[in-house]
Amino acid sequence: MPRLLARYVLAEMLAPLLNWLAFFFFLFLAMSFLRGTDLLLGSAVSTVDLLRFVLYLTPHFLMQALPIALLLSVLLGLGRLSEDGELTALRALGVGPWKLLLFPMAMAAVLGAVTLAVSWTLEPWGMRAVTRSANELLKRNVMGDVRPGTFYDDIPNFALYVEKVLPQGSWENVLIYDSRDAAAPQLLLAREGHLEPETERDEVRMILSGGNLHRTNPAQEDYAVADFSRGTLLLSVRGPMGGKNPFQRAHEELTPGELLRAAETEPKPLPFLVTFHSRIARAVLPFAFALLATALALRGRGSQRGKGIVLSIAGYILYYVVLQVGTGLGAKGELPPVVAGQLANVVFFGLGTWAMLKAGKPA
């Protein structure tokens, strides 16, 4: 009987879990795509590039989708049993709220183990890969976006004009106004130029030949002109252009071991320690959500179940608000890193326990 009951209850929660997981995964993927349209719809982007981005981002979005999918699957699965009166029958057989909680907690244990494994291995790998790919696309988009007879000014404080673009991608009659150094803006004129990706670093290298450089220094009222046969400009995708990379997440690209090593070597170790403990907290999160969802399902009935869904989504948002507050306080040193990382779990375990105690009382 217990094994049959376990299979029955878990089956009620498994189908909603898979459906909600797919829904939220594609929702987060679509939101990320919309946030990165300037990059992902660039002139140099191919279908293969887009598929590669989906592959790299899959672990990250699965980790984001799993908690809310579990929360709603428990609420809907147990809510259906409650609505049909099956939970009342189970109570008559001696299966009370706390015994029923074992089934969502078993599912939470599996998802917690998956979260721990993925967030410590595949997710950092994917985030590093997506950052690297995004930087390469930034370089290629710059190379493909330059048009003859039109000023290219997508890079802050940098304007490029070419009179003619040759089939192989090189330019004729180039004008560049570079004011990235506000103290000494410069104007460059060259007969020829082209771009080369600096693949070992996050930079694009601009090669100019046969021109002259005009530099001013407003503070000293100085003006200088110099001829050159060949010159090089480096444009960093992590500098002004880096703002166009919406996928860059420095701490999420590090494994737990790398976070701890960074905490030992960096002058400001607290952000790395807080991230490390937050990574552990993500594996505990399914238990907190399973507890809260079970309590909401036991109290929900009919129209109350819709209210429970709204409360679940609100709880999901609230969890991440508390998480951000905790990590912010931890990074400032106002909370110990372990407390900052686990603060949201502690709050939601408290809410879930309180709701379960209320659910266990006779109506």
**Mean pLDDT computed over 77-81:** 79
191/171 Cα distance (integer angstroms): 8
| Residue among 343, 342, 345 at smallest CA distance from 353 | 345
DSSP for 269-302 reads -HHHHHHHHHHHHHHHHHHHHHHHHHHHHHH--T
pLDDT in tens, 228-241: 899 888 777 655 44
Is the model's pTM score more than 0.95?
no
Partnered with residue 236 across adjacent β-strands are 203
Residues 253-288: tens digit of each pLDDT? 888 888 888 888 888 889 899 989 999 999 999 999
Angle at 47 between CA 64 and CA 145, to 5 degrees: 105
What pLDDT shows up at residue 13?
A: 87
Residue 47: count of CB within 10 angstroms of its CB? 7
CA–CA distance, 134 with 363 (Å, rounded to integer) = 56
Structural contact between residues 94 and 132, judged by C-beta atoms closer than 8 angstroms: no
Domain chopping of the chain, boundaries: 2-121+255-359, 147-244
- Of 223 and 276, the one with more pLDDT: 276
Span 6-56, pLDDT tens digits = 777 788 888 889 999 999 999 999 988 888 777 777 766 788 888 998 999
- What average pLDDT does the segment 326-343 reach? 90
Q: Long-range contacts: 41-50, Cβ < 8 Å, 24+?
A: 42/137, 42/140, 42/141, 42/144, 42/145, 43/141, 43/144, 43/145, 44/137, 44/140, 44/141, 44/143, 44/144, 45/137, 45/140, 45/141, 49/133, 49/137
